[in-house]
Amino acid sequence: MKNIAVSSPSFSKNKILVEELIKSFPDSIVKINKGGEHLKGDSLVDFLKDSEGIIIGTERFNNDIIKNLPNLKIVSKYGVGVDNVDIQFLKERNISFRWKGGVNRRSVSEMTLGFMLSLARNLFYTNSLLKSGEWLKNGGYQLSGKKIGIIGCGYIGEDLIRLLQPFHCEIQIYDILDKSYLESCYGVRQVELDILITESDIISIHTPLTNLTKNLVNNTFLSKMKKNSYLINTARGGIVVENDLKNYLQKFLNDDLSYTLCGSALDVFSMEPNEDSELLNLKNLYCTPHIGGNAFEAVLSMGRSAILGLSDNSMEYVL
């Protein structure tokens, strides 16, 4: 390939990945997003317009962008989510889309476990109160032996099950696919969604964002949750209706007896960066800026996978 471009700010800021990319394609002109901007629309087209091979991250890559890139032959994905890419349109234009799932699974599953421990033991909530001058000696409850609900049991959901084994939790999973092999391997139980919602002490979401999962967690979902339960989302922001979640979290803080969940952890938001200060400042919301898959090791794994994708046609994504 004569011209390669990397639009992902995260990849572009990583000196190790940039050096490895240039070394892998010594005869190519490599264009890096040095400014670290989150490119979109015309600015994204302008950055990519001469490229035959590109590496993209979370940039919205739809047909309005693709049709204006006449030289494009290969799109390689940095990261595991593909909901930002119009893969069908790429296929129609004979542009190869390269992707590998699960390369950052341990990074996300470890962070999810951290959220679970922090929420269950009241670490984040009491830390927040203490900083505002309130000394609340409430140590929460042990994670060990609790009922955990995992919605979506792909690479990350399954890895989370592995990490939870020493805690001897009762794990229930919900997935649109048959995951019965996990029942025999780990002693989990695959159940209907309503059962998982109503019985779980902690619910953790690990699904892609699709027409089936968009706005899945709404007022109806939240109203069914177990009293004093927790919700964790490290998947995609559009799965949770944030205003509905905010209202339920506020019920707990206001001692409204109709509350169900008492706390939540979000690493992803429908709009990023999120600017809803009313939501972000809730004392019972543990929030992070979409860093679940961004452990140092995971960043290198995702980047190296994306570099390999520019030359390895075995990574072709199949619809």
| Bridge partners, 3 (sequence order) | 29
SS3 string, the chain, reads: CCEEEECCHHHHHCHHHHHHHHHHCCCCEEEECCCCCCCCHHHHHHHHCCCCEEEECCCCECHHHHCCCCCCCEEEECCCCCCCECHHHHHHCCCEEECCCCCCHHHHHHHHHHHHHHHHCCHHHHHHHHHCCCCCCCCCCCCCCCEEEEECCCHHHHHHHHHHHHHCCEEEEECCCCCHHHHHHHCCEECCHHHHHHHCCEEEECCCCCCCCCCCECHHHHHHCCCCEEEEECCCHHHECHHHHHHHHHHHHCCCCCCCEEEEEECCCCCCCCCCHHHHCCCCEEECCCCCCCCHHHHHHHHHHHHHHCCCHHHECCC
Tokens matching residue 155? 């690479």
Q: Which residues are known catalytic residues?
A: 236, 272, 290
Question: CB of 25 within 8 A of CB of 1?
Answer: yes
Q: What's the angle, vertex CA 234, arms to CA 196 and CA 221, rounded to 5? A: 35
